[in-house]
Structure 1
């Protein structure tokens, strides 16, 4: 039977069953097929388990196999997101602050979280992204930005309690603007009639990148494997850096009010990690992964610090464009 006829037949069954109340075909379906049909029959994304369903195993696989060179971040993100999504009555929103140099995978990690919660991933209407340079570029308009941000957060969480907010370039944001977010991260049951406890807030920042790099370099100089680095080796220096570096976080109440659940460090990437990034990008493009090509791309990048030249200055950020010229 042709797909169109199958669709029409199912449509008739669906509509007539609703009219006569004889049976509910959803009860005859389970798992994947139930969700698939509901999406076909009602393709409009909605705030329910059809479109929002946490895939713990999927996130575990992605963090372990797709997030390159970030064993600490993979472990912290998996445990915190899994614990939060498994709790039907969290006391506050989940707040993660991801820190590290450019190109180390912070944006990619946020994307993996979204892809394993929302069927539409980053394209979901319940995932909201704000970047300092794009959304809050003029300091003279800061009061307008505050009002807009307040309204957008309230409106979006009112529409879906499982909303996700991603703030990129936090180090460039005005501290007053950052503090606009503060009330929504507290332990309130409701704020102006809206509960924010099931929302997720992810902050992305380059702040603390130098302290993370220095710790990683110290391990390398001592002849120790970078996988020996633990969260405890970085968390204190990272939070201190966020306090002391000249950026919006330094003057914000988010840190001194302890509203961030975890400061998640992203380690600088080495040559071998860049090679893995190139191979992954080739595979994503449908190309045959070629180690020789990957090594050629990796060798073209700039590495620091001098004289060691261990870490890619731009991480894996520029490899996508470089592949076009190989």
Structure 2
């Protein structure tokens, strides 16, 4: 039955049953609009991003392969991220996921966040359901904390109403004024609903340099005792991180309810990067920038680029001061000489 026949049928039915024709037409119009919306929504979502499994779907295989192929020296990160994300997105979660990434500069915190977004959202970091919040950009003034709290509350509530599986990435949280992050407490707690909204499918990533020194110190102690890097366990690192985070006065997590109330799902340590890890990063950039094909990479070029970076502690020079962060600029700098 087409739309015209349907309207005529309903008009006749309204006359027979005593329903006012105008009321019937209004009801018919509503039904037609609803029908059109039902028919065209799947078509719209075929071309435009929607909060559906066609656009949001964790690909565990891709996530595992990307972490193994693109992340170096971070065995704890790979295990934690894969297990918690898989559990959160394939089972009915009891609350929102909150992973707190800790480590020094260039150890891969932002890199892993990007890999996570790419493995869940078809549009990756460009997805309208992925929200990157830079603390230094969004919260620069310590005397405006009440306003920042209201803005953050509005962002989370509006975003989750639009899509339950929203992802929030808080970068440089160690530079966030204390108190703001506690705005998230209700959304991370064990509530089935808040004002009719279910926040349990949302995901939060907190990126911080806090505890970076403590992580490096512990890793170096293990190295000096000739223990394998891969033998460092998550439990020992989580204790170190949580203690440093809650007691660092300059951290956005200082005395935070998220820590006190145990609302952080896991503290994820990013270990300092050794020279061998830096060499792997260098090779990746040499290929990515088309200086070499993988099989033709010059080991002499890799050595010269790695020597342009600084390492610590001064007497041992075991770990890169900036991780892989400065590798791209050093690659271009050294390769200028090679090209000439």
Q: TM-score range by the shorter chain?
A: 0.7 to 0.9
The CA distance in 2 between the partners of 1:64 and 1:205, in whole Å, is: 22
Q: Which residue of 1 aligns with 2:135?
A: 132
The residue aligned with 1:68 is: 72
Matched, 1:160 2:163: yes
Candidates 31, 46, 51, aligned match of 1:47: 51
Give the CA deviation at 1:245. 1.9
> Is 2:252 the counterpart of 1:248?
yes
Q: SS of the counterpart of 1:251?
A: coil
Write the distance in 2 (CA, Å) between the matches of 1:42 and 1:63. Answer: 29
Aligned length: 288
**Alignment counterpart, residue 122 of structure 2, candidates 113, 119, 128:** 119
- Deviation at 1:158? 0.4
Give matches, 1:129-278, under 5 Å.
129-246=132-249, 247-278=251-282
Residue 152 of structure 1 deviates from its aligned partner by: 0.7
Q: What TM-score results when the alignment is normalised by the length of structure 1?
A: 0.85
The offset of 1:287, in angstroms, is: 3.6
Structure-2 separation of matches of 1:175 and 1:183: 17
- The answer to whether the 8 Å contact 2:109/2:207 transfers is yes
The C-alpha deviation readout for 1:80-126, integer Å capped at 9, x for no partner, is 11111111x21101100000001000111111111000001111110
1:98 counterpart SS class: strand
Q: Does 1:299 align with 2:293?
A: no
Computing the radius of gyration from Cα coordinates, the structure with the larger value is: 2
Q: Among 102, 105, 113, which residue is 1:102 paired with?
A: 105
> Could you say what secondary structure the match of 1:250 adopts?
coil
Whether contact under 8 Å (1:70, 1:267) holds in the other structure is yes
* Segments ≥4 residues shifted beyond 4 Å: none
Alignment-derived partner of residue 326 in structure 2: 318
Aligned to 1:3: none
Unaligned runs of 5+ in 1: 1-36
* Correspondence for 2:35: none
Match of 2:83 in 1: 79
Matches of 1:100 and 1:125, distance apart in 2: 28
Partner of 2:31: none
RMSD of aligned residue pairs (Cα, Å): 1.5
- Distance across 1 between alignment mates of 2:289 and 2:52: 32
1:242 deviates by 1.0
Distance 1:248 1:133 in 2: 11
